[in-house]
Amino acid sequence: MDDLTRREFFRRTAFGILPALALPRLVYASFPSTSTDIEVETAFGKLLGSRTEGVNIFKGVPYAGSVSGERRFLTPAPLKPWTGVRKVKRLGHPSIQAPNQTYGINEPDPAEDCLTLNIWTPANDNKKRPVMVYSHGGGYTHGSAGSVAQDGANLARMYDVVVVATNHRLGLLGYLYLDEIAGDEYAGSGNRGVQDIAIALKWVNENISAFGGDPNNVMIFGESGGGLKTSCLYAMPEAAPYFHKASIESGPGVMMKTADVAAETTELLLKQLGIARNDWRKLLKLPPSVLLDAQEQLQKMGDLSQIAGFHGIGAAGKGGFGPVVDGVVLPTHPFDPVAPSLSKEKPLLVGWNEDEFIFFAMFSGDTEAFQLTEEKLHQRIESILGDKARLVVDTYREAYPKATPTQLFIAIRSILIMGLGSITIAERKTQQEGAPAYLYNFGYKSDLKVPGTDYEFGSMHAMDIPFKFHNIDNVLDKTGHRSSGMAGNRPERFAASNNMCQLWTSFARKSIPSAKGQPAWPPYNLSTRPLMRIDTQCSVIYDRYKTVLKMWREILN
C-alpha cells in the first residue's frame, strides 16, 4: 500500500471503528425463572415491572416524550403523566439504525420514538443505593439498552446497586447539525443524542429514589461509543447536576466534531437528498428509512476521519454523525485542551483493553493480521505511518522483545485507537488538581479463537462488557448448550469478572475503586503514573507505557 499522510492515517484508523462498535452477533437465550409483579409509583404514574431471581426489573420505561414528526431534531416533547398502571416488562424500541445491530431478547424493531430506559434494582425499598447509568456502545449509529451482555440484573443482585440503561437517538436523527440553517428552535440539534441521555439523567434524579437508588450518588459509564458519549456528558452543563462520577471505557473522547465540519456534513446530506438549503424542513417529512439510507451513503462516500492518537476517537469527520462542539449543548471539547472545569470535583475512571484491535481485525475479515511475518508487520505499519514505521517497530521490539509480529501489530494499533487518548484524559484530569482519575487496562484473556485462525480473542475490544456486568455465563452456543459467549471457557473468568464488578461498584458507592484480595488502586499522578491491570489477579503497574509513550509523543504531537 502507498505511504499515507497523517490525515489519511487518522481517516483509515477511524473508518474501521465507526461501523464495528456494536457487539458481535451471539445466540442469546433467556432461562426459565419464576417472576412476580412489582409496582412502583413515579412522578408520572404507576409502573408495573417484575421481580425475578431477587431483582426488580423495569424495561421500556419512558423518560421523555415524542421525537418524531414535527419534534424530529428538536428536544423531546415533555413526558405526559398517565392514569392507571403502565406495564413495563418489555424492552423499548431502539433508535433507528441498520438491521441486526441490537442484541436484546424479544427486542422490538427500531423506531423513531425511542426514549426509554431499563432499570434493575435489588428492591424498591427507599434504600439509598449507588446508581450506575450506562450508555451503550455502537459508536453514534448502532446499539441499544437491551443487549444481553450489558443486562444489569446480576450487577444489581450481587453488588447491591441500581443499574439504569438508556435508549437515545442515534445517527443523523441524533446528531444532524441544523443550527446554522433552521433557527433558534433547533439550536443544539447536533447533540440531541447525548442531550437525550442528559434528560434521562434528570429523570433518574427525580425518580430513582422510588427504585431504591440515591439520586445524590449517580455514576455514568459506558464502553466504546458509550465511552465517547460519557466523555461528552462529562463536559455538558445540562448533564452536570445529575451525576457525580464517571467511567470512560475504551472510548476516549478527547475531542468532538467542530461546528464547521458538522455544517459541511449537513450540506452533503441536503445534496444527497436533493433538498435546497432553504427547504430543509422537507427533512421532517421524509420516512426514517430514507434518512437512514442517506446516512449510510454519506458514511461510505464522505470523509469519515476521526482524530486518533492523543486526541481520542470521538471527532467523527465530514460525512459522519456524532456530537458537535456547538457552544450550546457541548460548549467545549470534552478534554481538549484541558479537562472540563464543571466536572473538576467528579472522580473519573478511564482505560482500555490490552488487545483492542483483535476485534476490529476479526470483524473486517483480516485473518492475515493474525499470522504476520516481520516483513508484513513493517509493511503494515509503514502503510499507516510512512517513514516513522521503522522507529515505531524498533521501539516496540525493544519494549517487547519476546512478542511475535502479530502481537506487536495488535499492541501498536490498540494503543493508537484507544490507549493514547485514555492516557491523555487521565493526565488532563490529574492536571486539574481536583477529584482523582484512575487509569486501567483490562487484561483478562479469552481462550476463544478468531474464526479461521488459531489466535485467541485475548482482551479484545468489547471483551470487558460481560465482565463488568457479570454476564459471562448466560448464552447458548450453536449446539444449544449454555456457554460464556465472548468470555471463553476458562473457569478463572469468574474471578476476573468479580474483580471488575467490585472495582466498578465500589467506585460507584464511595468514589474509590477497590476489590477484596486485590491491591489498592492509586489515583493517577504525573510522576509514577500508576495503572491497574484487571485480571484474575489484579496488579498495579507504574509508568507501564513509558518507552512507547515517549516515542508516540515525538512522532504524533
Residues tagged active-site? 224
Distances from the Cα of 378 to the Cα of 156, 270, 364, angstroms: 47, 42, 20
**Secondary structure of residue 220 in the 3-state scheme:** strand
- In whole angstroms, give the CA distance from residue 375 to residue 353: 27
**Phi, psi dihedrals of residue 336, rounded to the nearest 5°:** -140, 125
Q: How many CA atoms does the CB half-sphere of 114 hold within 13 Å?
A: 30
β-strands 348-353, 245-249: how paired?
parallel
β-strands 539-542, 530-534: how paired?
antiparallel
Do 441 and 544 contact (CB within 8 A), yes or no?
A: yes
Do 488 and 457 contact (CB within 8 A), yes or no?
A: yes
- Candidates 78, 340, 33, 66; CA nearest to 206 is 78
Do 214 and 128 contact (CB within 8 A), yes or no?
A: yes
| Cell 462529562, located at residue | 234
CB atoms within 10 A of CB 101: 20
Which residues, at least 6 apart from 538, have a Cβ–Cβ distance to it below 8 Å?
499, 503, 515, 518, 519, 521, 532
Do 162 and 213 contact (CB within 8 A), yes or no?
A: yes
Q: Is the peptide bond before 337 cis (omega within 30 degrees of 0)?
A: yes
Do 340 and 332 contact (CB within 8 A), yes or no?
A: yes
- In whole angstroms, give the CA distance from residue 262 to residue 134: 26
How buried is 305 (Cβ within 10 angstroms: 0-12 exposed, 13-18 middle, 19+ buried)?
buried
Do 438 and 349 contact (CB within 8 A), yes or no?
A: yes
Lookup: cell for 315: 471527532
- In whole angstroms, give the CA distance from residue 115 to residue 194: 12
